[in-house]
Amino acid sequence: MQTFEYPGLNLGAQHSSADQKAQSLVFGFWVFMMSDAILFGMAFATYGTMIPHGFAGGPTPRDIFHLGPAFIETMLLLASSFTFGMATVAMKYRRATSTIVAWLAVTGLLGVAFLILEWQDFSAMFAMGATPQRSGFLSSFYGLVPLHGLHVTAGCIWLVCMLIQIGMHGMDDKTKLGIMRLAIFWHFLDIVWIFLFSVVYLGGLA
């Protein structure tokens, strides 16, 4: 019977030393992600505090939020989570390296598309005068949503580094462990965005 010592992808005995090393490294990365969850929790709490009375006569969520672009961004991130999942499954079952690279590349493109759309949203808001210094609500908004975008940017850079590492060293133990940790990070960001979409966009337009 297989023992699962940490949540997420378990490589199994077919990956030999990589599976053994994953036990401590992946568990440690989960502990690190807890600190990131606390950071986002504080940002959400600040935003929630500013929503009732933090407009200062400035734009409200109904004035600046548009559900269409936010929904498209949500679909892009959910699709990227699926493609990353396919990459990790391909790695687990020792599929061709080209298959893993293809799934990771598609994931990166979806992430970049998300960032482009989000930047367009921010640009439109700035053009309307909805800047961080305008009100407490907008300050908390720009402290929360771009924080997630910054994490996605870091994830995309990390993904490019992993593709370079695969090209230089192939699917060795370090590469496999790097992909596993990046997968945790990426899926975490997708979960955070679901909360963002629900609380900020759907909640603001309700």
Containing structural domain, residue 186: 15-39+68-205
| Per-residue tokens: 99 | 């298959």
Residue 51 lies in a domain: no
Closest listed residue to residue 148, CA positions, set 111, 123, 184, 179: 111
According to the model, what pLDDT value does residue 169 have?
93
pLDDT at 145 over 50: yes
State the average pLDDT for the chain: 91
Residue 80 lies in a domain: yes
Residue 135 lies in a domain: yes
Residue 128 lies in a domain: yes
Q: How many domains does the chain have?
A: 1
Residue 134 lies in a domain: yes
Residues 76-125 have pLDDT tens digits of: 999 999 999 999 999 988 899 999 999 999 999 999 999 999 999 999 99
Instruction: Give mean pLDDT, residues 54-69.
Output: 92
Residue 34 lies in a domain: yes
According to the model, what pLDDT value does residue 1 have?
46
CA-CA distances (angstroms) from residue 46 to 4, 11, 14, 140, 142?
37, 39, 47, 6, 11
> Looking at residue 166, which CATH number applies to its domain?
1.20.120.80
- The Cα–Cα gap between 65 and 48 comes to 16
Closest listed residue to residue 197, CA positions, set 14, 70, 19, 103: 70
Closest listed residue to residue 173, CA positions, set 1, 26, 59, 51: 26
Residue 56 lies in a domain: no
Amino acid (one-letter) located at 157: I
Task: With H, G, I as helix, E, B as strand and everything else as coil, classify residue 11.
Answer: coil
According to the model, what pLDDT value does residue 15 have?
64
Residue 163 burial by Cβ neighbours in a 10 Å radius (0-12, 13-18, 19+):
middle
pLDDT at 53 over 90: no
Q: Is pTM, for the whole model, over 0.85?
A: yes
Residue 52 lies in a domain: no
CA-CA distances (angstroms) from residue 24 to 5, 104, 173, 181, 201?
9, 24, 14, 12, 38
